[in-house]
Amino acid sequence: QVQLVESGGGLVQPGGSLRHSCLVPGSPISIVAVGWHRQPPGKQRDLVANLTKYADSVKGRFTISRDYAKNTVYLQMNSLKSEDTAVYYCNKDSPSTWWNWGQGTQVTVSA
C-alpha cells in the first residue's frame, strides 16, 4: 500500500501563497492520477484539483503540477482566502482507487 507524504501547510494571511508537496512512492506513472483534496473544519473532504479540472472555488488561484523525476505532485495556492482554511491531502482522484490517506497538511488563512 502506498504511503503518501504531504508537506507545505502553514499559517498565511489572506492574499498570501503556499505550496504543497506530495511524495508518491513507486512508479512515476502512479502520480498521473493524483489530485489534491481538502477538508475544511466540520465539513466533508472534497477534491479541489486533479489532472484535468479544478473546483470552481479555487479555479484561477490554485495550480497543480507534477515532477515525474521526483515522483512529486505540487499544489501552488495563490490569493488565499479564509475559506481555503482546511487540511489538505493528496490522493488519487477516484474514490474507487484511493490509497490510504496520509496525515494531510493544515492550512490556516487568517489575518
Collapsing DSSP to helix, strand or coil, 83 comes out as helix
In the prediction, which pLDDT does 52 show? Answer: 85
Q: How far is it, in rounded angstroms, from Cα 20 to Cα 89? A: 9
Collapsing DSSP to helix, strand or coil, 106 comes out as strand
pLDDT in tens, the chain (111 residues): 778 889 999 999 999 999 999 998 887 777 889 999 999 999 999 999 998 899 999 999 999 999 999 999 999 999 999 999 999 999 998 889 899 998 999 999 999
In the prediction, which pLDDT does 25 show? Answer: 85
